[in-house]
């Protein structure tokens, strides 16, 4: 009986121990997993002019009407904010007026990927309005995720429009384990650095000069218990009709789908696959982004350094040779001769180039007309589709928007670069005594003015092969985009074409005109004129003024000072105590320019024999 009691005790004890072990194991798992969302909660950095911040999604639900478009797709519905449209700032103004009534909110979910053993922590942010450079729409869902292997963070994925970026954990800026997210103004695309956004065509404006939402400044709320998470419609206005809805989708004006349905559900259902497909950032990319972000500042600093160097060279030449009575050598114009004509042409070329800086360099225009085409795409006249100039860089007009939109890293002040180059040319010609040296500077500057013209033509010629044209219109076997691009690439200087579009319910035509703008032609003409000016200076073989000492090296006999310049030199000498200088009988070595002693037979500096 005693053995039986002991056996029963051990049996029940064993069950109890196993049960207790399971409970403790589960508790251990819970403890290990508890707080992961807090551990890696992001820190958000916003640009100074941002107007919308992560908000409780109830803001949108409380201030919207649910609408459905049965003829678009069965069951397709959307929440339309009643306080504004995509064409005004009504939603933004309303959000700003009530934002204190809603908490800053970041939603999270934890996903276990059993195929890889990874744990994914996703952070979802809802914004009241998307006012990006390329598109705008009501509502905006964005996401960042942290991927963990064996309890160690491995990499992150940041959403950016329909794509994004990934980076290894070592390349992520963070405070402890809290990742830093730099949010683009208006579009709310997420970036890994505060100087990103310049690459690509998104034209995102990123900065860390605005509001900062630390991990303890917002409510971290789970998505698991939200009844709206299964809503399959759009979180923002779409349209009233099927045709308008299609336009809104093409133009990026339709409200976004919810977290479960973003990118056809891939971000939610397959976060590892989605993140793995993103472009991976690295140190080289970050360096390039930093350079682009600070390009203008770097250019200004380099320009100041060059000006300082030129100033030093001018001072050195002043001490040794003098600068001449007219200082700037392109002002030596005295009669009808080669060097005077050359200088006149150079001045004319500079004036032409200045006008070219403020006019379009290349323009592609289009016109759309026909049956079945809605008012948004009907142009009624030729409008600019693509325009490239020196002030705004590359701009593309998207149909239905308010005007041309600068495209990404191409937004560089090219006119500033050329203008500073012309200023350098004028400064560099101060005190040049020989037309040969002046002519070389003219030729080099003229070539540099033509380079943008050549690069534009090359870009247009290869445009058809660089821009993807793989989409063929369904049912037609025709790629209209490729047809248009091929016409442009085949005749880059300019031309026009008409493409007839025939699709289901649509019969129309697209007229396209393209060619060099006035600014492009002016830069080409200016460059040629300045090059001709340089050639004339080389042929003139003139010394503009008498230097303090002979120009270093043997001076050719044909290098004569122009008669009118000799008179100016004499007048200048008289006004600067010429009487004392006339008594100076010093002579100089024709080889090195050093002063010779009286009755010297050779130069003590270079050893050259003095001719008597």
Q: What are phi and psi of 522, to 5 degrees?
A: -65, -40
Count of CA atoms in the C-beta half-sphere (13 A) of 567: 3
d(CA 440, CA 528): 14
Q: Please state the separation of Cα 165 from the chain's center in Å.
A: 17
Q: From the CA atom positions of the chain, what is the Rg in Å? A: 36
User: How sure is the predictor about 473, in pLDDT bands with cuts at 50, 70 and 90?
Assistant: very low
Q: How far is CA 170 from the centre of its chain?
A: 26
* 225 CB burial (10 A radius; 0-12, 13-18, 19+): exposed
| CA distance from start to end of the chain | 142
Residue 218 clears pLDDT 80, i.e. is over it = yes
* Cα distances (Å, whole numbers) of residue 172 to 118, 163, 192, 518: 19, 18, 7, 47
Give 432's contacts (C-beta < 8 A, 6+ positions apart). 329, 438, 441, 544
Higher pLDDT among residues 269 and 559, named by residue: 269
Give me the pLDDT at residue 47, please. Answer: 95
What is the average per-residue pLDDT within 111-126?
Answer: 94
In angstroms, the CA 46 to CA 17 distance is 54
Is the pLDDT reported for residue 124 higher than 90? yes
Rounded to an integer, what distance in angstroms lies between the CA atom of residue 234 and that of residue 138?
9
> What pLDDT does 593 receive?
67
pTM (whole model) above 0.85: no
- HEC profile of 550-590: CCCCCCCCCCCCCHHHHHHHHHHHHHCCHHHHHCCCCEECC
Dihedral, CA atoms, 604, 606, 608, 610, nearest 10 degrees?
Answer: -40
* 281-259-471-199 Cα dihedral, nearest 10 degrees: -30
Considering the chain, what percentage of its residues have pLDDT values greater than 70?
Answer: 76
**Dihedral (Cα; 408, 409, 413, 418), 10-degree rounding:** -140
Query: 232 and 259 in contact (C-beta within 8 Å)?
Result: no
What pLDDT is recorded for position 53?
97
* Three-state secondary structure call for residue 223: coil
Q: Which region among 21-30, 495-504, 592-601 has the lowest average model confidence (pLDDT)?
A: 21-30
**pLDDT at residue 475 is higher than 60:** no
Indicate the pairing of strand 393-397 with strand 43-46: unpaired
Whether residue 190 contacts residue 203, with contact meaning beta carbons closer than 8 Å, is answered with no
Looking at residue 193, its pLDDT comes to 94
Backbone angles phi, psi at 515, to 5 degrees: 155, 170
pLDDT digit string, tens, across residues 370-427:
776 666 667 777 888 888 888 877 777 766 555 556 555 555 678 888 999 999 999 9
- Buried b / exposed e across 165-188, counting CB within 10 Å, b at 16+? bbbebebbebeeebbbbbbbbbbb
Alpha helical stretches, state H, 85-140:
90-98
């Amino acid at each position: 009986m005693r053995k039986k009691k002991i056996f029963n005790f051990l049996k029940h004890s064993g069950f109890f121990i196993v049960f207790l072990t399971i409970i403790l194991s589960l508790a251990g798992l819970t403890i290990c997993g508890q707080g992961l969302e807090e551990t890696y909660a992001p820190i958000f950095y916003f640009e100074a002019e941002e107007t919308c911040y992560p908000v409780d999604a109830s803001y949108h639900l409380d201030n919207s009407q649910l609408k459905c478009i049965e003829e678009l797709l069965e069951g397709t519905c959307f929440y339309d904010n009643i306080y504004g449209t995509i064409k005004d700032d009504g939603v933004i103004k309303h959000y700003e007026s009530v934002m204190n009534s809603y908490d800053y909110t970041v939603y999270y979910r934890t996903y276990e990927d059993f195929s890889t053993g990874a744990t994914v922590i996703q952070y979802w942010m809802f914004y009241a309005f998307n006012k990006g450079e390329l598109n705008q729409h009501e509502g905006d869902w964005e996401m960042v995720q942290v991927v963990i292997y064996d309890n160690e963070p491995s990499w992150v994925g940041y959403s950016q429009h329909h794509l994004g970026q990934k980076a290894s954990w070592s390349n992520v800026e963070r405070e402890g384990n809290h990742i830093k997210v730099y949010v683009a103004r208006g579009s709310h695309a997420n970036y890994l650095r505060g100087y990103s956004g310049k690459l690509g065509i998104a034209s995102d404006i990123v900065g860390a000069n605005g509001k900062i939402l630390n991990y303890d400044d917002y409510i971290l709320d789970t998505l698991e218990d939200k009844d709206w998470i299964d809503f399959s419609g759009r979180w923002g206005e779409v349209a009233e009709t099927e045709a308008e809805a299609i336009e809104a989708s093409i133009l990026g004006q339709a409200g976004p789908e919810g977290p479960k349905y973003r990118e056809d559900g891939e971000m939610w259902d397959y976060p590892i696959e989605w993140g793995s497909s993103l472009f991976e950032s690295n140190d080289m990319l970050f360096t390039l982004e930093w350079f682009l972000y600070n390009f203008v500042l770097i250019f200004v600093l380099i320009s100041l350094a060059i000006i300082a160097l030129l100033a030093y060279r001018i001072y050195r030449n002043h001490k040794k040779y003098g600068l001449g009575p007219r200082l700037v050598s392109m002002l030596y114009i005295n009669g009808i001769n080669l060097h005077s004509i050359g200088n006149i042409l150079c001045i004319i070329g500079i004036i032409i180039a200045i006008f070219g800086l403020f006019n379009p360099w290349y323009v592609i225009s289009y016109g759309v007309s026909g049956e079945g085409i809605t008012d948004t795409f009907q142009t009624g006249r030729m409008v600019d589709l693509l325009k490239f100039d020196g002030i705004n860089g590359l701009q593309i007009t998207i149909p239905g928007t308010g005007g041309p939109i600068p495209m990404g890293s191409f937004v560089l002040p090219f006119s500033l670069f050329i203008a500073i180059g012309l200023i350098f040319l004028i400064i560099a010609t101060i005190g040049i005594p020989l037309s040969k040296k002046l002519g070389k500077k003219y030729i080099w500057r003229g070539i540099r003015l033509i380079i943008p013209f050549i690069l534009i033509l090359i870009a247009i010629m290869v445009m058809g092969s660089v821009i993807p044209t793989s989409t063929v219109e369904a049912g037609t076997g025709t790629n209209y985009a490729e047809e248009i691009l091929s016409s442009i690439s085949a005749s880059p200087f300019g031309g026009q074409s008409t493409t007839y579009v025939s699709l289901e319910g649509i019969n129309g035509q697209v007229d396209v005109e393209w060619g060099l703008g006035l600014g492009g032609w002016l830069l080409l003409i200016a460059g040629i004129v300045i090059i001709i000016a340089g050639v004339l200076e080389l042929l003139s073989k003139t010394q503009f003024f008498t230097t303090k000492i002979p120009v270093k090296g043997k001076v050719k006999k044909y290098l004569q000072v122009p008669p009118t310049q000799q008179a100016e030199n004499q007048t200048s000498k008289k006004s600067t105590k010429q009487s004392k200088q006339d008594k100076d009988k010093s002579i100089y070595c024709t080889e090195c320019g050093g002063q010779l002693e009286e009755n010297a037979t050779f130069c003590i500096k270079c050893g050259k024999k003095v001719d008597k």
